[in-house]
Structure 1
């Protein structure tokens, strides 16, 4: 999940989230809502009543544009706004130590959900990742 600004239920935060989502790829309103919900792990889903008026106003401002397929994309002005925002999501950890701490957190999470059936069918992928980590540990 990406870092959130201090007041994450205001339109400023929603605007930032929309900008970030559109920086990844063009999307329509429903896709934007779904992506934000996934970013929040289902804990928060912006309402269409907030998203669609925001998309309209952002398009009027020239921050985003709507293509013939109904998908929105950032304009150059939108890219600048995202770059100048104070909470641009990090694309990678700030250091190796932070990355290791994040890995530890994910492993703890997976350990906690192990009995819930959430890992069903994912054993092979987990084993592949574990093997890669084992090789890294040998080089450390």
Structure 2
């Protein structure tokens, strides 16, 4: 697949998650609630998660922001649901590496998240993409 076709596919995946977000909403009795914002651009996220027996059993987000920020939150919640806390944090570290333009392990299936790898070329947008991931990390690490 040519670079232009791949770039177009990635844009479509991002816009799909933005226009049709997965796991949008709130968990009424979530075990973890995290609010974060990006004051430089106005993105904000309200993340709720249930963690049971060391696994993220449910994750939902609400908030407002650019297409990158909201699509990333949609992809993140999909990726961590059903994963143990250690794997969720490892996914976040891998995502952070990808946002820095670094190589990341092939053993993790990133699925739709790979569509965000082009954000690394736009430093001003990295904070948009990582906001929900940082919220998830904060919630899971402060819980311990």
* TM bucket, shorter chain: under 0.3
Higher strand share: 2
Larger-Rg structure: 1
TM-score, scaled relative to structure 1:
0.27
